[in-house]
Structure 1
Amino acid sequence: MEHLKSLLQRTVGQVILVWDQATWHTSQEVRRWLGDQDRIDTYLLPVRSPETNPMEDLWRELKEQVAACLERSLEGLLESCRRYFDDLSGKSTLQTAGIY
């Protein structure tokens, strides 16, 4: 929930969360906390339907880049992740997710 708290601090207006139904998104603690927030609207995707979740394509690309990293130290793998995110533009992110 720290990420959600940070999100609320850094944004204004309504926040729409589109989530898969992973247990960490649907736990009683999270649902209770979300129930107290008037700026967050949550929409859950169908269970076991990764094809409905645009983030799955981004995760797949990230995993492929990290798997291709020849440096197997933790720092090397983290650097590979950082490069992936640094190279993403807003447009390429939306394209990869099939939204643009």
Structure 2
Amino acid sequence: MTPPTARTWSRRGRTPVIRVRGRSRRRLSVAALVCYKPGERSRLIYRPAPDRRADGRKSFAWTDYRDLISAAHAQLGGPIVLVWDNLNTHLTAGMKKYIATHDWLTVYQLPAYAPQLNPVEGIWSLIRRNLANTAFADPEHLITAVRQELRAIQYRPWLVDSVLAGTGLLLSAA
């Protein structure tokens, strides 16, 4: 809920001020997959999870990632090669067992501390840039704004191609 800040223009001597009504510890977790298949447009598949979940968790559990991967498999209709970072929920015993039981899923771990190789970090950068200097009235306003930004990126496959190309992991996005 605390707004990210960015630079802006104003008249000399007049510093622009954005009033924030109050700070909140509320948060929104989003898991996303950037998908590439030769001969098809690149895709962004995501799942948001507000922190007011029934189970009391404030972040994604390995079962949430499992469900996202299963949904991506159903949507993409083919085998998946998953390249992801070393988040602790990606490395749980339950996730390892899930990966081992599905032959359509191949997983490669990124090296530690290598956000420049993770295309989803580029997606978060685009979202932060577009939401900078926005004071959110309530958690629903934040959720709506993030969903709108993610949908806008989904409908612009060249943005997804650009974050994939920025990692250097993709030789050509055509």
If the TM-score is normalised by the length of the shorter chain, which range does it land in?
Answer: 0.7 to 0.9
Q: Larger % of strand: which?
A: 2
**Residue number in structure 2 paired with 1:38:** 103
Asked if the contact 2:73/2:79 (under 8 Å) is kept, the reply is no
Structure 2 runs not aligned, ≥5 long: 1-65
Structure 1 runs not aligned, ≥5 long: none
2:162 is equivalent to residue 83 of structure 1: no
More relative contact order, 1 or 2 (CA 8 Å, 6+ apart): 2
**Residue number in structure 2 paired with 1:93:** 160
Query: Number of paired residues?
Result: 100
Instruction: Provide Cα deviations, 1:33-85, integer angstroms capped at 9, x if missing partner.
Output: 11000101111110111111121121122233334322331111112112212
Asked if the contact 1:18/1:45 (under 8 Å) is kept, the reply is yes
Report the structure number with the largest CA radius of gyration. 2
Equivalent position amino acid for 1:93 in 2? V
Q: Distance in 2 between matches of 1:7 and 1:85?
A: 16
2:59 is equivalent to residue 5 of structure 1: no
TM-score (norm 2): 0.52
TM-score (norm 1): 0.84
Larger mean Cα displacement after TM superposition, 29-38 or 79-88? 79-88
Larger mean Cα displacement after TM superposition, 3-12 or 52-61? 3-12
Q: Distance in 1 between matches of 2:73 and 2:123?
A: 24
Aligned-pair identity in percent equals 20
Cα RMSD (Å): 1.8
